[in-house]
Structure 1
Amino acid sequence: MTRLGYGEKMRQWRVEKYRGKDKPNNAKLGRMTVMTAGSKAEGLTCFFENDWDVLLILDHVRCVEAVVSLQTISDDIYVFRMDTRVYPGPCRLSKERLADAASDVIHNAL
């Protein structure tokens, strides 16, 4: 597998390059963070091989588990709670706190 470009060192090199590709995008976006996910994030595929999975993270939104205290989270952040103690798969989010500043993205999604 090493000769084909799928050895541990080559995979680690790819992971670092894909993370480096995300950094300029994050500098431009402001209140959003972009992360490469999936097989690219694990270094399993080359640049033009397979699809590119991207995770967009809104910096002013937090999704927390049931045990997290809301006092530890700033008031200008939207907070949603998920209960992961019941079922290990998909879960429903409950709206815990909306921030003072309006966000069209969150409002439209709700």
Structure 2
Amino acid sequence: MNWLGYGPCIRKARTDGYKESDRRMTAGAFGILRCVTTGSKAEGLTSVLESDIDVMVIVSGFVCTEDGVNYSSLPNEIAVFKIYTDICYHGHCRLLLERRSSMVYRFV
């Protein structure tokens, strides 16, 4: 597998490279966003131009909860969204605002 580019050392180097890329993207967002590479790239299975890039973007100041989760212990500066999956297709959900915060970003 080493000859093909899928050995453990090469996969480790790829994951380290993607983590460094995530760190740089997060640093450029000034603490508002956090970027995390997911999927085959995060596992080091594919090289840079071999496949698509899956990136999860985490916005600070927001929390998504499911039914039955008590969010009263969270600070008031955090907006709370509730995920409803009962009336949706599998793999989809409705995201409804449960509690507003003092700071609301336009893109949300």
Q: What is the TM-score with the length of structure 1 in the denominator?
A: 0.79
Report percent identity of matched pairs: 36
Which residue of structure 1 lines up, in the alignment, with residue 3 of structure 2?
3
- How many residue pairs were aligned? 106
1:89 pairs with one of 86, 91, 97: 91
Aligned partners of 2:41 and 2:54 also within 8 Å: yes
Q: Helix, strand or coil for the counterpart of 1:55?
A: strand
Q: Give the residue type in structure 1 aligned to 2:98.
A: E
Aligned partners of 1:78 and 1:98 also within 8 Å: yes
Which residue of structure 1 lines up, in the alignment, with residue 45 of structure 2?
44
1:15 and 2:15 aligned: yes
Q: What is the TM-score with the length of structure 2 in the denominator?
A: 0.81
Which residue of structure 1 lines up, in the alignment, with residue 65 of structure 2?
64
> How big is the alpha-carbon RMSD for the aligned residues of Structure 1 and Structure 2?
2.1
Q: Give the residue type in structure 2 aligned to 1:55.
A: M
Structure 1 stretches of 5 or more lacking a match?
none
Q: Deviations over 1:21-55 (max 9, x none)?
A: 11122112021111112221121111222222222
Moved over 3 A (4+): 83-88
Structure 2 stretches of 5 or more lacking a match?
none
- The answer to which structure has the higher helix fraction is 1
